[in-house]
Amino acid sequence: MAPRLRLSSKAKLVLPSFANSARSRILLVDKDEAVFSIFLNQLRSIRKLANGIIINTFLELESRAISSMFDPKLSIASPAGPILNLVSDDDDNNDGN
């Protein structure tokens, strides 16, 4: 079992892709629930399970977030954007007339 992470709700987290620190209460799962340990284990195992992550963005749009992912220890993210759907719903139903 993974070690328990103890954070107060007022603790500030330094997240590489965020311009400012954030309070721990922004986490999506309650840090005291078993789900949180599972979530952390999944994040830790990404490097073993995947050769990389493709992100729908580009450097000029989200330079801080992308730059944080190009740390040599974390270099599994690749921006591949923007990925656009150039066919609208109207085009799908249009017979060309």
Q: Domain residue spans in the chain?
A: 1-49, 52-97
Is a pLDDT exceeding 60 seen at residue 2? no
Quickly count: other Cβ atoms within 10 Å of residue 46's Cβ.
Answer: 12
pLDDT at 23: 78
Rounded-to-integer distance, Cα 56 and Cα 77, Å? 11
pLDDT at 80: 78
Is a pLDDT exceeding 80 seen at residue 11? no
Region 17-38: what's the mean pLDDT?
Answer: 73
| pLDDT greater at residue 14 or residue 89 | 14
Is a pLDDT exceeding 60 seen at residue 43? yes
pLDDT at 97: 52
pTM of the model: 0.40
Rounded-to-integer distance, Cα 97 and Cα 91, Å? 11
pLDDT class of 52 with cuts at 50, 70, 90:
confident
